[in-house]
Amino acid sequence: MSNDHTESVWLTIAVIMIGIGSVVVFSLQPGGGAVTTSSQAQMMPLTSSTIEPNTDDPRAVGQTTTEVPSAITEPSSVPSYSRVAALMPTPTPSPVASMTAIPPLVLPEVPVPENGEVYLLYPANPASVGWARANDEVANHFGDYNIFAGVFEGEDHVGAMQFDLSQIPPGSPILYADLALTGLVSDYRGTEGVWTLQMLDEWMDLDWTTRDFSWLAREDSGTVVLNDPVASAALDVGKTNIFSIPPEGLGLLEARLFTHSVSFRITGPSEGPDNLFGWDSGFGTRSMGRAPVLRIVTGGPAVDAPPSPTPNYVVITPVPSDGYALLALAAERLTATAMATPDPLMGTASPTVTPTPMPPNWVTPVIVTNTPTPENQVTASWWAQMATAQEIVRGTATATPPNVWTATSTPLPPPTPLIMAYDSFTPTPTPTTTPGAIPDFLPGKILFYSDRMGSESLMVMEPDGSNVNVWTGEAPEWVYAQAKNGESLAPAGDFQVVVSNQQISSLQLWTVDIKNGTRFQLTRFEEIAYDPVWSPVDNTIAFVSPDPGNDEIFLINADGTGLTRLTTNEWEWDKHPSWSPDGSRLVFWSNRDTQRKQIWVMNRDGSNLRNLSNNDFNDWDPVWVK
């Protein structure tokens, strides 16, 4: 073999050996082997909980499968790595947040009789649960996923919720009831403070979706306080707080079975550093699905007929003997139209910051003293009106009607308070013989309330919306009450339209024969009807009802025929209609278009709608002076 041939052989052997060595070295490099799906899964961030293995996947048989966050999905095939990529370090994925799992709801055990039932009730819809905040630009935050209560950034928050009781037979004896709330947000909770749940008064159930902080936080809005208020240490996300209704509240809850709804509020710390907690409303994208649960345990058969309603009472202390003040106070409450009062008898007005709204049972006090001679002409005129009204209503003149108490004029002891039943008093018609009840220049004009002056002020304008002026005369409440006093009366003064839920489940319109007290039910809506006004020229009655889904204005004849809907909105509401003196038009307030309260006018058939006030402020409760 020649030297050249020998060198070629050795060169060939060397090349072969180098190739074999390269293969061995490469096989030892990281990532140089095959990448399996299971090894990929081990590189992914995992939650601590496990799920059952998928037996349809042969790779899962005999293995424990760990739940993978939905943000990371398994590739459909094994990726092919290049040699360069295989030698690069593998980045560590960022952790993926997962929602805290909440345990099943466990309610405390309570005995249920053999003939008893257990009802678990939830808020019917998003608009029935949420929260409201002091000094907020919107009325409330119903429909939010939170039920906030406490204080945050110096503003007080109150939570609220309403339940539909219609599935429980009216008259069912209630043996036990509690309300469960599950925590959702604790980011702003402090270490101190107590949260309290309270049942709201019956009148708060009406117009629930419009209730704002001023209504929900009022002291007189609440009734019984539920047991076991919770401290900060007892609050946490996913933790359920149980509030039981005390025995004195079960009777109130039984009465609500006839009105088919009950509402609650929850309050917490109202001052100091941030201390806010949120419970789950059951609605919204961030809800854990744990809505408030009202549990009611009944026992025994339901009663056949609803119990007689317990009258509400108002206590009035006699005022100083200032004739104008006396007249203004009596006239304001005579027609149950206190400004910003949720009054079922004469309609519901919107609350304002100033003055503080009065509760609905502040109605119709008549203040009479034993003074032989009136102190001034205004007082004498008022007594004359009362005497005339008494003759119209009762047929015979008496010194005082049965539901009027006479306050003593003796300085000591203190004057006896006047107490009268809310349901037993009929507003007194204004006698047409009394001169000077309304200033001569006012008939034909429109009175309304406005916040244009920075606080609630009585305004007056022409029927076309021009010449708007603030009322600068004495006793604006008296003037307004006198203008509104006859709105519910028939033209002849012999009938009156009222709002009542006597022996029925909801507030509806009734006509009342003033002479003999005969009643006739006009409306039979599923929802309430209110704000009725009788046409000054015929037997047509305009009124408001939320039966279509939001508050709209309707017409109906005094015999119950001719029901006609005049207005239509998507979500806005129209309220407080008042007839023109000739009965051809209606003025009312609405938040349509501007989302502010504005004064609107329309023909009696609903045509020719126009915004009369059309300004950047709020105007409401118009009365077209007759």
pLDDT reading at 283 higher than 70: yes
| pLDDT at residue 388, rounded to an integer | 61
| pLDDT at residue 15, rounded to an integer | 57
pLDDT reading at 350 higher than 90: no
Q: Could you tell me which residues are beta bridge partners of residue 590?
A: 574, 598
Tokens of 147: 């039920």
pLDDT reading at 124 higher than 80: yes
Q: Worst-scoring range by mean pLDDT, 125-129, 454-458, 487-491?
A: 454-458
Tokens of 622: 């118009």
pLDDT reading at 501 higher than 80: yes
pLDDT reading at 376 higher than 70: no
Interatomic CA distance for residues 618 and 354, integer angstroms: 14
> For 236-267, how does the pLDDT look when each residue is reduced to its tens digit (9 = 90+)?
999 999 999 999 999 999 999 999 999 999 99
pLDDT classification of 82: cutoffs 50, 70, 90: very low
pLDDT reading at 7 higher than 90: no
Closest CA to 579 of 520, 625, 523: 625
DSSP3 helix / strand / coil % (the chain, rounded to 5): 15, 25, 55
Interatomic CA distance for residues 447 and 174, integer angstroms: 48
Contact predicate 143/126, CB 8 Å? yes
- Please state the length of the chain: 626
DSSP 8-state assignment for residue 100: P
pLDDT classification of 438: cutoffs 50, 70, 90: confident
| pLDDT at residue 31, rounded to an integer | 38
Global confidence as pTM: 0.41
Phi, psi for residue 478 in degrees, rounded to 5: -65, -45
| pLDDT at residue 29, rounded to an integer | 42
> For 453-475, how does the pLDDT look when each residue is reduced to its tens digit (9 = 90+)?
888 899 999 999 999 999 887 68
pLDDT reading at 516 higher than 90: no
Top pLDDT among 159 and 358 is at: 159
pLDDT classification of 537: cutoffs 50, 70, 90: very high
- Helices of type H across 461-533: 476-484
DSSP 8-state assignment for residue 205: G
Q: How many CB atoms lie within 10 A of CB 296?
A: 26
Q: What percent of the chain is predicted at pLDDT more than 90?
A: 48
pLDDT reading at 404 higher than 60: no
> For 221-231, how does the pLDDT look when each residue is reduced to its tens digit (9 = 90+)?
999 999 989 99
Interatomic CA distance for residues 514 and 496, integer angstroms: 7
The residue-averaged pLDDT of 602-616 equals 94
- What is the DSSP track for 234-272? G--TTPEEEEEPPHHHHHHHHHHTTTTEEEEEEE---SS
What three-state secondary structure class fits 516?
coil
Interatomic CA distance for residues 340 and 361, integer angstroms: 13
Helix 476-484 to helix 323-334 angle (10° resolution) is 40
| pLDDT at residue 93, rounded to an integer | 35
List the domains of the chain with CATH numbers.
3-86 (no CATH), 117-298 (2.60.120), 311-436 (no CATH)
> For 43-62, how does the pLDDT look when each residue is reduced to its tens digit (9 = 90+)?
222 223 222 333 333 323 33
pLDDT reading at 325 higher than 90: no
Computed from CA positions of residues 487, 491, 493, 495, in that sequence, does the dihedral angle turn out positive or negative? negative
- What is the DSSP track for 354-417? SSPPPPTT------EE--SS-SSHHHHHHHHHHHHHHHHHHSS--SS-TT-PEEP--SSSPPPP
| pLDDT at residue 384, rounded to an integer | 67
Tokens of 339: 């400004």
pLDDT classification of 12: cutoffs 50, 70, 90: low
Top pLDDT among 86 and 221 is at: 221
Top pLDDT among 25 and 592 is at: 592
| pLDDT at residue 49, rounded to an integer | 29
| pLDDT at residue 401, rounded to an integer | 42
Phi, psi for residue 16 in degrees, rounded to 5: -65, -45
Average pLDDT, the chain: 73
| pLDDT at residue 389, rounded to an integer | 58
Contact predicate 618/594, CB 8 Å? no
| pLDDT at residue 19, rounded to an integer | 59
Q: Could you tell me which residues are beta bridge partners of residue 626?
A: none
Top pLDDT among 87 and 298 is at: 298
Sheet with 530-534, strands from edge to edge, namely 530-534, 540-545, 552-557, 564-565
| pLDDT at residue 74, rounded to an integer | 32
Q: How many CB atoms lie within 10 A of CB 43?
A: 11
pLDDT classification of 377: cutoffs 50, 70, 90: low
pLDDT classification of 18: cutoffs 50, 70, 90: low
Interatomic CA distance for residues 337 and 481, integer angstroms: 7
pLDDT reading at 361 higher than 90: no
pLDDT reading at 603 higher than 90: yes
DSSP 8-state assignment for residue 90: P
Helix 323-334 to helix 377-394 angle (10° resolution) is 30
Contact predicate 606/583, CB 8 Å? no
| pLDDT at residue 557, rounded to an integer | 96
| pLDDT at residue 505, rounded to an integer | 79
Tokens of 236: 């946490």
The residue-averaged pLDDT of 94-116 equals 69
> For 148-170, how does the pLDDT look when each residue is reduced to its tens digit (9 = 90+)?
999 999 999 999 999 999 999 99
Top pLDDT among 99 and 522 is at: 522
| pLDDT at residue 481, rounded to an integer | 87
Q: What percent of the chain is predicted at pLDDT more than 70?
A: 62
